A = this chain, B = another copy of it.
Amino acid sequence: MIYFNSDYMAGAHPEVMRRLIETNLEHTVGYGCDPYTQQAKDAIRSACAAPNALVQFMEGGTQTNATVIDALLRRHEGVLAAECGHINVHESGAIEHSGHKVLTLPDTCGKITAEQVDNYITNFYRDETYEHMVAPGMLYITMPTEYGTLYSLNELEQLSAICHKHNIPLYMDGARLGYALASKACDVTLPDIARLCDVFYIGGTKCGLLFGEAVVASNPATLPHFFPLVKQHGALCAKGRILGVQFLTLFTDNLYERICAHAVVLAQRIRTAFVNKGYRVAIDSPTNQQFFILPNDVIDRLRASGVSFEDWGVRGATETTVRFVTSWATTEEDVNKLIEIL
């Protein structure tokens, strides 16, 4: 069996596991006050060229989004997001559980534009009854998007400028950020993101760790009193150093870059193979998720041959959109086998 279902099917990168084992019996204080966590924070600050940044490790993506959004919004405000945004669709109402409305914008392949944001906010305040409506209080974007697509540096600069023109923070959900940064199509760097986004998070769960996400705010004043809020949201890891050790490993010797690049290269090989076979690409993704429209009999044959992957949406009458995902744990042999079966 070879798996392309998602990028969180395996455990942690062996190097991460090695460091967890090596440090396992050490005694350190809890809640992220240990030296490994401090070193990991410094490594991330350095990678982001944001020497004063607030860095806070969290356990998972939904809790990270819920906590950051709750921290950034005032009570009468909501969060602008693409209709397909993870917080709008796949977090079981975690944002609303904290009292905030998700204000949606139609997206193009997962992306929204600075113009859309500008128009929304401008029209909002033009409406005389705007105080009866939920004010747009921040912008949420994902990089790469739900569909594996990327914002260019230019687009990101425009989004950042529009947000700051309207005095709202820009927040980037980076659950798969490594797979964006590793893409040849990506002209954005971590320091760019740290500079342009008021807050973002570097996803670990999908990029080599057992679990863990790193929230980064270049200006710590953006997230005042964040620690008790993390605790209140149930997102504070008691043995905080488990996250510290993992992230420190990820940000040592470019491990993060290397393992994500590996996944993206394999994803592009898969893409080329499908295209060469004459299959259609559903969404043009330069990252580790690939979407194809396949005849149902091809889908069935692949699965019968031991290839595991997911339908993307409902199965069609004769053909269906499917998703193939690679990760740091995908091997060249897996991809070779897939191409061979294909």
Query: For the complex formed by this chain, how many copies does it contain in all?
Result: 4
Given A131-B92, A231-B131, A232-B91: A59 and B62 within 8 A (CB)?
no
Q: State whether A133 touches B9 (Cβ < 8 A).
A: no
**Interface of chain A residues 3 through 59 with chain B (CB within 8 A):** 3, 5-6, 8-12, 14, 17, 20-21, 23-30, 59
- Asked if A255 is at the interface of the complex by the 8 Å CB criterion, the answer is no
Q: Give bound CA distance, A224 to B231, whole Å.
A: 26
- Asked if A302 is at the interface of the complex by the 8 Å CB criterion, the answer is no
Query: Which residue of B9, B21, B93, B224 contacts A232 across the interface (Cβ within 8 Å)?
Result: B93
Residues in chain B near residue A70, CB distance under 8 A = 75
**Interface of chain A residues 153 through 207 with chain B (CB within 8 A):** 205-206
Q: State whether B63 touches A75 (Cβ < 8 A).
A: no
- Asked if A129 is at the interface of the complex by the 8 Å CB criterion, the answer is yes
- Asked if A265 is at the interface of the complex by the 8 Å CB criterion, the answer is no
Residues in chain B near residue A26, CB distance under 8 A = 10-11
Q: State whether B23 touches A20 (Cβ < 8 A).
A: no
Chain B interface: which of A106-114, A235-243, A281-289?
Answer: A235-243
Residue of B nearest to A18 (CB): B21
Q: State whether A92 touches B10 (Cβ < 8 A).
A: no
Residues in chain B near residue A6, CB distance under 8 A = 30
Residue of B nearest to A3 (CB): B27
With both chains docked as a complex, state the minimum distance between the C-beta of A10 and any C-beta of chain B, in angstroms: 6
Q: State whether A91 touches B231 (Cβ < 8 A).
A: yes
Q: State whether B9 touches A92 (Cβ < 8 A).
A: no
Q: State whether A100 touches B96 (Cβ < 8 A).
A: yes
Given A30-B6, A242-B210: A97 and B233 within 8 A (CB)?
yes
Residue of B nearest to A21 (CB): B17
Q: Give bound CA distance, A89 to B132, whole Å.
A: 8
- Asked if A148 is at the interface of the complex by the 8 Å CB criterion, the answer is no
Query: Which residue of B89, B126, B239 contacts A210 across the interface (Cβ within 8 Å)?
Result: B239
Q: Give bound CA distance, A28 to B329, whole Å.
A: 12
Residues in chain B near residue A25, CB distance under 8 A = 10-11, 14, 329
- Asked if A78 is at the interface of the complex by the 8 Å CB criterion, the answer is yes
- Asked if A314 is at the interface of the complex by the 8 Å CB criterion, the answer is yes
A-B contact pairs, 11 of them (CB 8 A): A11-B24, A17-B24, A59-B60, A60-B238, A63-B63, A67-B234, A70-B75, A75-B232, A97-B98, A206-B238, A234-B235
Residues of A at the B interface (CB closer than 8 Å) are: 1, 3, 5-6, 8-12, 14, 17, 20-21, 23-30, 59-64, 66-67, 70-71, 74-76, 78, 89-94, 96-102, 123, 126, 129, 131-135, 205-206, 210-211, 224-225, 227-229, 231-239, 242, 308, 314, 329
